[in-house]
Amino acid sequence: MKSNKFEIPKKMKAVVMSKTGLENLKVEEVDVPQINKNQILVRVDACTICPSTLKLLIQGSEHTFLNGWDISKYPIILGDEGAVTAVKIGENLKGKYKVGEKLSVNPAVDHEPVNYRERYRAPELMKKLAVGYTLGGHLAEYLLVREEVLEANCLIKLLSQEMGYYEISLGEPLSCVVSSQDHHLHFVIEPRAGERVPKKGLLKGGVTAVFGAGVMGRLHVELAITYRPRKIVVFDIDPEKFQWIEKYLGKRAKKEGIDIHCELTDKEKIQETLYKLTGQDYADDIIDATGIAGVQEMAFRLAGKGSVFNSFGGLKSGESVVGVDMRKVHYDESIITGSSGGNWADMRRSLELVSRGSFRLGKYIRLVGDLDDAIEFLNLVNQRKIDGKAIVYPHTKVDKPVNVEDEWTRQKEIEFLNNHL
C-alpha cells in the first residue's frame, strides 16, 4: 500500500448508520466522495473500534455532535479512530500535503459547521464537530477531509512515515488519555515567597489510583508511569484484567521505581486497602475509567489534601448525577476535573510518543479483520467480550477475524496486508 499512484473507484464500502440501534447498522456500497479545491480525499488504511460509537448508536440525532442531524435523511459513516493516506488533494492545498503521505485525523474538531449547516439544529451555537459523526468516518474505504477538519488543524502529519497503521489509529485513544492527565493540576508552595505554583500532570512521587482496568484504564496506567508517582493502585472487579497490567507494564514501572498494585474493588474497604498499600488513606490523583456513577462516587472517597479527581469515563444520560462530599473540596482543597477527547495537539503528542518508541500500542490489539467484521466487533465491545482493541483494515478481505495472542507489530501488519489485500 505504499504506491503513490492511486486508482480511485467510483464506489466504496462503508459502515452506515441511518437508524439508532446496533442491530440497524449496515455495511453498504456508497459513492466515493468528490473533493472541492479546499478538501482532501484520503484512503482509510485502518480503523480501530471505539466504544464511544455505542453511545452514538443509542442517542442518534440527539447526540451532542449530531445536534439534530437527521440520520434517516442523511445517513452517516462511523469510525473516529483511524489511519489514512492522502490520495487526492484539492487545488488550494497542493504543496501542503503530498499524495501518498500517511496522515492522522484528529476526530474532535473544534470548529463550527462549514458544510451542511442547515442540517443542524442550531449551527451557530456549535463549537465542536466530529469525524465518525457528521464529518464522515474511518469505517469506510475512503474519507473526505473537509474544510472544518483542515481549518482546525486536525489533519496531522507524522514524524515518521514508517509508523504502522495500527499505531496511527491507536494514537486517538492515547490522545484522550494525554488530554485527560493534562487536566490534573497540583499546587506546590514556593518556599520563599509562599506562592502557589501550579504543576500540570500527575503528582511526581505521589499516589495515583485508577478505577477500571480495561483498555482506557491500562492506557492511563501506562501514561501515569511517565509522571513517576511512587505508587499506582488499579481497582477493578475482574482479576483476569490484572494479568495484562502485570505482564506488560509491571517491569516498566519497576524500572522507574514505581510500585503497581492491582486490587479487587471492595467498596467498604477501599480506603483501608489504599492505606495498607501506600501509607496514606487518600490518593493524590484519582482517575475513573469506568464511566459508572457508583464507581465515581466510591472513587471520590479517596480524595484528600490537594487531590485531583478525574471523571474520564463519561456517564450515561440519565445516570450522570453523583453524590459528592463537598467538604473534601472545601477543606482538603481537592479538585474535580474531567475531559472529553483530545485536541490536535494531544494527538500530535501521542503520535510523537509512539514514533519515538515510548509506547508499543500493538499489545492493546486483540482482533484483526476487514470492513465486514466491523459490526460484529462493535457487538463484541458492547457485550464486553473482547479484552482489548479490535482493528479493521478496510481494503482487505479475510475469511475470518484474526485473534492476536500476544502483540500486533509492524511486521505482522505488513504480512497481513500482503496476504489479504
**Is 254 a domain residue?**
yes
Are residues 110 and 124 located together in one domain of the fold?
A: yes
Are residues 133 and 253 located together in one domain of the fold?
A: no
Are residues 237 and 333 located together in one domain of the fold?
A: yes
Are residues 160 and 17 located together in one domain of the fold?
A: yes
Are residues 264 and 375 located together in one domain of the fold?
A: no
The pTM (predicted TM-score) of the whole model is 0.94
CATH of the domain at 324: 3.40.50.720
Structural domain that includes position 163: 11-176+342-420
- Report the pLDDT value the prediction gives residue 3, as an integer from 0 to 100: 53
Contact 368, 408 (CB under 8 A): yes
Q: Which of 187-196, 360-369, 399-408 has the lowest mean pLDDT?
A: 187-196
Contact 74, 114 (CB under 8 A): no
Are residues 192 and 277 located together in one domain of the fold?
A: yes
Using one digit for the tens of pLDDT, what is the confidence trace for 199-244? 999 999 999 999 999 999 999 999 999 999 999 999 999 999 999 9
Are residues 143 and 205 located together in one domain of the fold?
A: no
Pairing of β 81-89 and β 40-48: antiparallel
285, pLDDT greater than 70: yes
**Is 1 a domain residue?**
no
Q: At which of 338, 364, 380 does a domain end? A: 338
Rounded distance, CA 161 to CA 174, Å? 19
Q: At which of 321, 338, 355 does a domain end? A: 338
What phi-psi label fits residue 258: left (phi over 0), alpha (psi between -120 and 50 degrees) or beta?
Answer: beta
Are residues 76 and 169 located together in one domain of the fold?
A: yes
If one counts the domains in the chain, the total is 2
304, pLDDT greater than 60: yes
- Report the pLDDT value the prediction gives residue 314, as an integer from 0 to 100: 86
**Is 31 a domain residue?**
yes
Please report which confidence band the pLDDT of residue 1 belongs to, taking 50, 70 and 90 as the band edges. Answer: low
Segment 319-344 mean pLDDT: 93
